[in-house]
Every structure is written in C-alpha cells, then in structure tokens.
Structure 1
Amino acid sequence: MPDTIFWLIRHGETAWNTERRFQGHTDIGLNATGRQQAQLLAERLRADHRDSPFSAVFSSDLSRARDTALAIINQINLPLAQHTGLRERHYGVLSALTPEEMAIQHPEDFRLWQLRQPDHILPGGESLLGFNARVLDTLAEIGEQHAGQQVVVVAHGGVLDCIYRAAMNMPLSQKREHSLHNASINRVRLGGGRFHIEQWGDIAHLETEAFDEL
C-alpha cells in the first residue's frame, strides 16, 4: 500500500492554554490569538496545497480544532471530515484544572499523571494506553482511506505526542522533550505500518512564539 503523508496540526491557542488549564474533552474555543494563528496557518497551507495538493482535511470535533480546520478549508476549498477519534485525551477529574489545582484536589491522580503511568485510568477519563490506542487506530484508518495521498489532520497536543512517540519508538512513560506548539505543522509519513517523521514543530508561519503543551 502506498505511503500516506500526514500534515499534523495542533489547534490554535485558547484561553485555557494561556492559563495552563487542562482542556481534554471540554469544548473550549479559540481565543483572538488562536484565530489569528489559524488564519496564518491557513495561508501557509494554501501555498503548500498549490505546490503539492492535499486530498482531504480531517479534524477533531472539538471546536478549537474544528475552527482551526475551518480556516484551512476556506483557503484550500476541500470538505472537512470530523472524527471523534482525533479528540484530546479525556482527563476525567483533572479536566478544567491547572496543575496547581490538581495537586490540591486530586494529588494521587496528579502524581500518576506526572509520572506518565500508562495504565492508570483517570477517574471519569482515559488511560494513556487507551488514548494512545485510539489515536493510532484513527490515524491508521485515515491512512488506509488515503493511501498515496497527503492529508491534513487538525487535532490536539496529546494526539501529536502519540504519533511522535510511535514514530520514534518512544515509551509512553518517557518524559517529553519534543515540542507540541499551537498551530504547528508536523509532517509524518505512514508506510509499512509505521510512522516516520519528516518535519516537526514548524511554526515559521506564525508571527509570535506559540504555547507548547504542558
């Protein structure tokens, strides 16, 4: 089966990003900076699409990702396909909290989150293992549908992290040192059942530095 090239995009900035507040499945929209980032990203991808066309645009159904994707499709004139499998990890009881609030309200769950304990299921949410399996299955499904094509996927920091780790054969428990910037472009090739990183953390199209994931 021919390789699929994914242009993985993290959504633009939200108010909760600036507050270091966990969003997860909570549906938080873009702030003014995020909307500007989405527009700059869309203009960049319009030029890339002209040189080497994309075949499809997918996004998480959460509004921060969907609205980033809508800015893109307005520039490149492709339909938008939304997929719940591209949602951020469900943080359960840690949702809507800052790390400082987590440490006070849910100290043990926060400790295990900090340790990146893969099999710990956050109460009301997902484990890293479950989240990772969902993300990899979703990208494999999209890759099979669009073999030999270039696809834009707009999702979340955690989703991009799963793909990076799969490509680098990096354990889920290992501390993250790679970037997951808002509105970044990250190109990954899926071939032979494996992900291969071609470019990571491109934010040259933005006017200012973007927030990294927690």
Structure 2
Amino acid sequence: MPHSQVTRIIAIRHGETAWNVDTRIQGHLDIPLNETGRWQAQRLAEALSEEALHAIYASDLRRAWETAHYVAQAARAPLRKERGLRERGFGRFEGYTFKEIEARWPDEALRWRRRDADFGPPGGETLRGFYERVVGTAERLAAAHRGQTIALVAHGGVLDCLYRAASRVDLQAPRTWQLGNASINRLLHTDEGFTLVGWADTMHLAHSGRDEFSDGDRLGRAA
C-alpha cells in the first residue's frame, strides 16, 4: 500500500471525570475532567509531544475538548471540534449509575446489557445508529488526511466502535478490550477500512484511569 494512501490515527479517550469514578452514565451531558483527569491529560500530552500530528479532532463535549487542548498545545497541532465524535446519546439513562438504571428500567437495562443493536433508551441513540455515526465520522476524517497522522479525542463508546471496526468484531459481541482514560490507541485507515496497530497504551500514566463501562460489563458487558 503506497504511503500516501494510508492515514495514521491516534485514538484517545478523554481523561477521568467524577462520573467515571461513580460509574454514572455521561452520554451527552457535559461533565468536566476531575483533578486526576487533568493530570492524565498532561501526561498524555507529554507522551504525544513529539508526534507529527497534522490535525487533532475532538468531541465538543468538555471532557474530551479539554483533554484535546493539552495534546494540541504540546504537539503544536491545529485542534478542531467534531460533533460526530460525541459519546453515544443515552437519553433518560444519562445521570444514573448502572445499578440505578437496572432498578428503574429493568426491561430496558436487559436489552442494553444484551447489546441489542436496535435498542436506544428513550431520547437516546440506538447502538447501531451510534456505531454508524462514529465509524462514518472517522472514515470521513481519515479520507481527508491521506498520508498524514491525525488524533481523534473522544469517549469510551467511540473507541469501542473504532476497535470493532478495525478488528472486524461484531457489534453485539461482548467486549474484552480496555477503554482506559487517556489511553493511546493506534489505527491505520485505507480504502479497505481500519486496521488495528496498537491498543490501550497507558505507559505514560503511573496508574490506569477507570473504565466507565467496567461495571456494565460485569452486568453483561454493555457498552
């Protein structure tokens, strides 16, 4: 494959938030980084400071946008907002913990845990619609940067979609990979699609961030 036809992608999950600690669903709610999250973003920026990034695209939600600012400043790369990189919209689930959702809406929680691709909480996105949005956005951005390296700063659910697209894992398959806060994840994109290069690199962090989906996974690996 000619070098000019390959886009190198660094996919990043935002730093930790207080709601990550509480396993509370954030979705489209605009929750800021906590102190640990800001420290993670600083360490992430240091780790990527020598990367030749042509552009950084970030979700417009504050936790991702703030994380991206640290990276952009260290790498001296242009930063742009991209709503297509937002976390999945969880509708009325947003603001609640996994246990609270199970208690309030057991039938809906069961469909969520089973990764029903056509289920979406009232006011939220279906899993299938979310996946199509994320992958379509990433493909569009990759196509605009052939032969270059870009960073995508987003959310756990977004990274889950990119991993599945690159590894050819079915949308309804249980998740067995990590989605750590401020982790570095590397992919390639060509006309044939995404390819996984490296995943869940947290060597730049003294300790791992929390995976906001970990409790949901124990209940059925809901993403």
TM-score by length of 1: 0.96
Range with greater deviation from structure 2 (182-191 or 99-108): 99-108
State whether residues 8 and 154 of structure 1, in contact with CA within 8 Å, keep that contact through their aligned partners in structure 2. Answer: yes
SS at match of 1:159: helix
User: C-alpha distance in 1, partners of 2:143/2:121?
Assistant: 31
User: C-alpha distance in 2, partners of 1:57/1:98?
Assistant: 31
1:119 corresponds to 2:122 = no
How many equivalent pairs are there?
Answer: 210
- Out of 20, 27, 37, the residue aligned to residue 24 of structure 1 is 27
State whether residues 181 and 208 of structure 2, in contact with CA within 8 Å, keep that contact through their aligned partners in structure 1. Answer: no
Give how far 1:192 is off: 2.2
User: C-alpha distance in 2, partners of 1:20/1:180?
Assistant: 14
| Aligned residues: CA RMSD | 0.9
Give how far 1:127 is off: 0.3
SS at match of 2:11: strand
User: C-alpha distance in 1, partners of 2:119/2:37?
Assistant: 32
Give how far 1:121 is off: 2.2
> Counterpart in 1 of 2:161?
162
Range with greater deviation from structure 2 (90-99 or 6-15): 90-99
Give how far 1:148 is off: 0.8
> Counterpart in 1 of 2:73?
74
User: C-alpha distance in 2, partners of 1:83/1:37?
Assistant: 22
State whether residues 94 and 106 of structure 1, in contact with CA within 8 Å, keep that contact through their aligned partners in structure 2. Answer: no
Q: Deviations over 1:49-95 (max 9, x none)?
A: 2xxx1100110000000000001111112221100000000011111
Give how far 1:213 is off: 3.5
Give the AA of the match of 1:137. Answer: G
> Counterpart in 2 of 1:209?
208
Give how far 1:182 is off: 0.3
Counting aligned pairs with the same residue, the percent is 44
> Counterpart in 2 of 1:88?
87
SS at match of 1:46: coil
Range with greater deviation from structure 2 (68-77 or 23-32): 68-77
Give the AA of the match of 1:13. Answer: E
Unpaired runs of 5+ residues, structure 2, are: 214-223
Q: Deviations over 1:137-195 (max 9, x none)?
A: 10011011101100011000000000111111111111100000000000000112311
> Counterpart in 2 of 1:173?
172
Unpaired runs of 5+ residues, structure 1, are: none
Range with greater deviation from structure 2 (106-115 or 21-30): 106-115
User: C-alpha distance in 2, partners of 1:154/1:46?
Assistant: 15
> Counterpart in 1 of 2:143?
144
Give the AA of the match of 1:9. Answer: I
User: C-alpha distance in 1, partners of 2:164/2:121?
Assistant: 21
State whether residues 179 and 213 of structure 1, in contact with CA within 8 Å, keep that contact through their aligned partners in structure 2. Answer: no
User: C-alpha distance in 2, partners of 1:127/1:178?
Assistant: 21
Displacement over 4 Å in runs of 4+: none
